[in-house]
Structure formats: C-alpha cells, structure tokens
Amino acid sequence: MNKIITLCFLLLTSLVLKAQEPEMADVFRKEGKIYVVIIVAGIVLAGIFAYLFFLDRKIDKIEKSNQKQK
C-alpha cells in the first residue's frame, strides 16, 4: 500500500513539474499571429535591402562617370 501511495505521489509531482515548465507564447503561435510578426519584420528588412541596393547602384553610376571624366 505504501508503495502505491509513493508511486502516485511521484506521478503527481511529475505532472506538477510539467505544468511549471517555463511559459512560452504557445497560444500566440497556435493562432498564427507569429506570421504577422515575420511579415512585418520581413518588410522592414526588404526596405533596408532595397535602400542599400539603390544606394549601391547610385554610387556605381557616380564612380563610372568619374572614371570617364578622367
């Protein structure tokens, strides 16, 4: 009898420990809202890349026209 009680106690504590696992944004993820964050961050990143890309091209053009002058 004593052993069964101990076993039950151990099982219960393991359940409690599982419930105490650090909290993560699981519900938020399940609702698919994380994709909204990804899209927003993606747009920001794309904007920065586009900016750098056009700046790169602009500098290219100036370098070429400078070389022609010489």
Partner 1 sequence: MEIKKHWWKIVCMLLLFYTIMAGFLIEVPRMPILNETIRNLFFHVTMWFSMIVLLLISVINSIRYLSSQNQSHDITASEAVNTGVFFGILGLLTGSVWARYTWGAWWTNDAQLNGAAVTMLAYLAYIVLRNSIEEEQKKARISAVYNIFAFVMMLVFIGVLPRMTDSLHPGKGGNPGFNTYDMDSQLRMVFYPALIGFILLGIWIMQLKIRLKKIENSKQNEATHC
Where does this chain bind partner 1 (CB under 8 A)? Answer: 21-25, 34, 37-38, 41-42, 45, 49, 52-53, 55-57, 59-60, 62-63, 66
Going from the C-alpha of 63 to that of each of 18, 26, 50, 59, 70, the distances in angstroms are: 63, 52, 20, 6, 11
Answer yes or no: are the C-beta atoms of 28 and 34 closer than 8 Å.
yes
8 or 48: whose CB is closer to partner 1?
48
In whole angstroms, how close is the CB of 38 to partner 1 at the nearest point?
5
Which tokens in the block code for residue 55? Answer: 């700046």
Q: Which is nearer to partner 1, 8 or 62 (CB)?
A: 62
